[in-house]
Structure 1
Amino acid sequence: MRMTRKLVFFAFIFLSLNLTFEASAQDSIQPSATRSKKAASYKISKAADDLKESLDANDEVQIAKNYEKLADGFLEKGDNAKAEEYLKKALATYTKLKRTSDRTRVTRSLAKVQESQQKVSAAIKSYEAAGAAAEEQEVIQLNRNDANRLRNINNPAAQTSFVQSNIQLLEKADKKEEVADAYVQQAQMNLQQKNKDVAIQSYEKAITYVKDQPEEVAKLKTEIAKVYASDNQFDKALEISEKLLADAKTANDFDTQIKQLQTLATIYFKKNEPEKAVLCLKQAYHLALQQGETDEVKNSLLQLLQYYKTHGKDKESIALYDDFFQNFDKLIRNDSSLIDEKTFQVTEEKIRQLEKEKALKDELIAKKNTFNYVLLGSLLLLLLLVGLIVKALYSIKTKNKEIALQSLRREMNPHFIFNSLNSVNQFISQNKELEANKYLSSYSHLMRNMMENSNKDFISLSNEIEQLKKYLNLEHLRFQDKFDYQIVVDDALDTETTLVPNMLIQPHLENAIWHGLRYRETKGLLLLKFELNRGKVSVIVDDNGIGLTESAALKTRNQKVHQSRGVTNTKERINLLNELYKTNIGFSITEKNSGTTGTIVTLTFPLLDKV
């Protein structure tokens, strides 16, 4: 009957407590967690509320930060699985946002959490990822050392060298908590190598870096007490635990009191003083009941039941059983962590819903952005197509202008050709063979020169003057008794580098000779001047012929058409040159009226050395 009741009792204890606290009953707690579970619960609740707000606002940076805060809260509570879950979410967001320093920090935290859960392969990968993401050489080496330490998990001596390297790096960077963690790691390796004295020294060094964190100091001193106990140095172990218990009572630190009573019980059991051990466990049990610390009630209760079972003390077991059930409702009411757990479950469900809504929003935004990019790309493509069409049309228009300009430039004055041939015929009929040969030779040179330059819009001033001289020589050979000519070039002009429009001047020389000078009764003068005025080249064709008015009265219809076409040709060429080369070529014709006869033609264009 007693055995039946005891079995029922054990079954109930395990079912009720394990189902209630399955999430919080973790085997390993992060060494750097220093706050109480109540503080951790508050931190989790606050981070969860902040996370909901950031999810509602779709603030990616704050979402990642709140995931990280949630993970820290679960670390302090000892729920490493939950901490890992939220660290992964924070890492995913930081990676998406390309926040390198945050990604490096969270990846290293994730590696530590995975290591604390004995997920060695995952932890190695996380340490390697943290090192790869880091920018500082010290951080790269730190993570590399941790990855190598885990690869040598069965070789404590090799592990120690990597930990010592990390200690040096962390001390240099003044990261006290991480230095303390590294010394704890070193102590654990010392214990694996049976170097208990060295392990105690490592724990003591760790304490110097967390001396302003009482809970952490108590935890490390407890580890030292365990080492002494394992080495049968019970007095030293008891001294440490009793001192910690006394300090906890002074500070009204009930969590530490409970843990130290449990530690003292363990030491007393090893020292073969079970009565004292049971007394400590009972004190821990009752204190945990008062404070609503269900986990600690469970731990103390299980140790007491195990002792009673081993020693066949069924009566004591039943008494403990009855006491537990009498206080069970009170325990549940006093345990705020249960309420916090339930509240967080509701909050977490809301977070899950918000995460789904955010994922849906992100998907819609992504589709919208894709559509916008496609639309923008189509518009850009259309604009590019329009630009190419405009460019092609502009190119065609420019080419047409160039062709038109070449056509105008290549127009040969039929009068000049006819008169030249007529002059040769006249020389031959008068048996002036020498003059005929000379004329034909000059004429052919001029034609060849004009043909060579026929595809050029601008030529050098020296080349233009040479062409004009050949032309004037031909006309002077024909009308020797009618005019002389003179070409004057400003010394400020460099005839080799200065560029002028090709054969734009020749038609005006022809007009001056054929419609002005050849009608004079006396010999006239044709003056061609090239001047540099205020950065512009001025070309002046000055003749003392009969002038525009009298010339118009003498002209035949064909002559009028010819002269009109010559002026029109000049204006058209000037307009085309101005459009194609963005120049500002000017043109004017004036008649002398101050007691002398004649005409002045002026051409102006910018001083150019390249086009």
Structure 2
Amino acid sequence: MTSDLMWFMVFLNSLNRLMLKMILNAVLLFLIGIQAASAQIVDLDSLLVEINKPQLEKTKKVDLLNLLSAQYTAKDISNNDSVLKEAINLSKSTGYNEGLIDALNNYGAYFYQTGKYEEALRFSLQSKSIQDSLDTNYGQIRTINNLGRIYDLMNEPEKAIENYDLSLKLLKTENPNHPQLPATHFYLGSALEQLTNYDEAAFHYKAAKSIAKREGYKVGIAIAEGSLGRVYTKSKRFKDAIRSLNNALDYFTETNQKTNQAHTYLNLAEVYAGLKDFKKAIDYNNKALEIYEAQGTNFRQLRYVYSNQSEYYSNIQDYKRSSEYLKKSYEVKDSVFSEEQMKTIEDLRTKYDTEKAINLKEIAEQEAKIAKTEAKQNQLYFIASSVVLLLLLFTFLTYFKQQQTKRKKELIASELKAAQKQLALEKQYRNSELKALKSQMNPHFVFNALNSIQDYILSNERNLASDYLGKFSDLVRRYLKFSDELSITLSDEIASLKLYLELEQLRFEDYLQTDIIVDEVLDMDNTKIPTMLVQPYVENAIKHGLLHKKGTCILTVQFLNFDKNFVQCIIEDNGIGRKKANEIKAKQLRFHKSFALKANQSRLELLNYKSKHKIGVQIEDLGDTEDPKGTRATINIPIQ
């Protein structure tokens, strides 16, 4: 159930109950200079002034507090807690059952919108109990709708639809103008939307919108437009979705309804994502994110927005920001899980204390009876004591077994969630790693290698062609061999690197001089590092630093023993420098994109996210800006 729908219900329930009471009493009640019968939302500041009047009747104050909660639900939901507690306490002290029903339902809506579904259910059931005692048609309809909402929360939309259909039949039979009618259309549309019955859902949203227009409910019209926009988005009617969502946004912005603004921004982001305009999707998602972060209460919605933002940045290949938002999504998920876990522990502790107090009371009563009859019935005393002890032992064993079973279930659930999170992370890590490995054999390198082989054959240099082809096949074989390995030995890494550099030297026709230096302290056969981590940086030095240099090109790769946990790799060239390389790329219409390096950067972020020892990369220019002497890349690689 969407939060805009919940707000609409809160407002209708509070305002229309006041209207019915005024009609029965035949009295015109004015609120802040506006007749309540006009069915318009009153000004927030004026409403606060009216509530704080000392001569205000307690029942009217309850009604106004319920109206105030509707305002806060749309504008600043964090204020609702104290307002509704006051309404509940005041209703109980005055025996005002109708006001109590509204306050309990509003409190349920508050917990629902902040993602605390168990609390929402608890307050809805309290309201249901009071409604059943009143035995009214109004209570019956609301109970049915409440059951429908509960089934929605339990992800059973079919049962929810059964209840909403029944509610709709009762409303049309008993009172076609009942204030619950548009809300029930909304509920039914939402449940049908969950089952992807978008045409039927749109029909019920339009029905609610039609009623809102007829009654002059501007907020109802806006919420209907927002719901239609969401349905149009899911059915890929993006133009219709943008029109409806912008209509809703205009009203929510005009009335400063922050929560509904955030939901509309979120829906617009999804529309533009469907249109592949990810930059606009990111902009709208950011607007929603600012509101949710400022409210700081709806962790589930925050997690959803962070996840969407990660996906949008990934689509524009900004993998760094994508990774940052993915991490935030997991952090919010952990917060939600910890909060629910603490509540479960607290409930168990309360239950244990209650049962313990009951058991102690029963023991005390038994001992008192035994003491009175001890003199006359010694034999019965022994039998009774034995029975009591057996009962206590049986109770204790049963209780202990139940608690042990519950703890096992909680532990299994906790481990399962942690395992699911770890599996998701491992899957992303694996995909990024394979992408980096596959992209190392990029089309440019393969094309150039095959061209070189062809030139040797055409120029009748068969020995050189055979030698080149043999080295090329060896390199491909090594890449395929290590593509499934998470880590390889330093000796294997260096062997693959040497093959790659020999092929590049043949293409440079002896203009390229390379040197690989390994610290004697390093045990190359027993030292393991992430698979083929260095090659993309060597490739980048050749393609961007040395390719456009005139004269002798020099490339040096050093592997040093940094400390017991790290190997340091220094890649140094005497190329044209990063500034000149960027200028050349800017002039070219089609230039080489370092796919291997970008994929490797994404892989580094995932490796660093799960690792205690982080991989560090630093790239710097040699010489000054005007007279570049080359480039140096320093990589600190943790030993696996």
TM over 0.5: no
Q: TM-score, normalised by structure 1?
A: 0.40
Structure whose alpha-carbon radius of gyration is higher: 1
